[in-house]
A and B are shown apart, each in its own frame.
Chain A
């Protein structure tokens, strides 16, 4: 068994903001953060071969 592997065979941990209705599972939160990071990086990283518009 690879100790580095994350066991997915168990219920996800949930984060809740205080006692509010804002509730999200950690896996969903991670996926949203990855998508946001990709979105921002896609806007700011230079594209190989792309021309400098400055």
Chain B
């Protein structure tokens, strides 16, 4: 890019640098009105569409409380009342995370949410679920109580049976703590971010019986949409 000149904002320009190319591609794939929409189609006004966001909120609470108890340390969150509180917040936010995610999964399964070129959105959702199981599993294992030991020794046989026991040693507490607090949650956040960006790109999946017009109509056109439907 030449000095002293600015490429026009928006995607309508010919990039000459890699940063310009990335911006052009980003803006043509996810323009601001798709990235941060002002309206949603009228069918989104249903409780079943709330569970994806509830899952993300529970995940944010789980991560925030997890960071707090990690910084506080084991003794703090086992012995002080404040520490016990955040330990409980961490545990119950994870319970809610999985509960909301399962309802979200059921909702999307029964409306065949992979329709309309949304296969990758569905696939990243599956990947997020599997990664979350890994985060949850390592979390259970590192509590080191009898339940955790039982889970670890059952899982050890699974890991050995599928041939990865030498890499993922579930009875190695230090390794499980590392997986639980760093790589697995990071992976989960990245996958969930991709999932949300794909939802933004392709739009929220319409119900199976939604009329074509409704499937693309913003909420601003609700009145018009209702007139067509009635």
Contact = CB atoms under 8 A, between A and B. Distances in A.
A47 B99 contact: no
10 contacts: A31-B95, A35-B102, A39-B106, A42-B46, A42-B107, A43-B48, A47-B45, A47-B46, A47-B47, A51-B222
Interface in A32-54: 34-35, 38-39, 41-43, 45, 47, 49-51, 53
Q: What class of interface size applies to chain B in its complex with A?
A: 10 to 19
Interface in A1-54: 31, 34-35, 38-39, 41-43, 45, 47, 49-51, 53
B50 A53 contact: no
Contacts of A39: 48, 103, 106-107
Interface of B: 42, 45-48, 50-51, 95, 99, 102-103, 106-107, 222, 226, 229
Contacts of B107: 39, 42
A34 B46 contact: no
Chain A interface, DSSP helix/strand/loop, else mixed: helix
Interface of A: 31, 34-35, 38-39, 41-43, 45, 47, 49-51, 53
A51 B46 CA distance: 10
A30 B103 CA distance: 15
**Residue of A42, A45, A49, A50 contacting most chain B CB atoms (<10 Å):** A42
A51 B226 contact: yes
A44 to B, nearest CB: 9
Given A34-B99, A35-B102, A39-B107, A53 B226 contact: yes
A6 to B, nearest CB: 14
Contact of A42 (B45, B51, B95): B51
Contacts of A31: 95, 99
B148 to A, nearest CB: 14
**7 nearest A-B residue pairs (beta carbon):** A50-B45, A42-B47, A42-B48, A47-B45, A38-B103, A39-B103, A35-B102
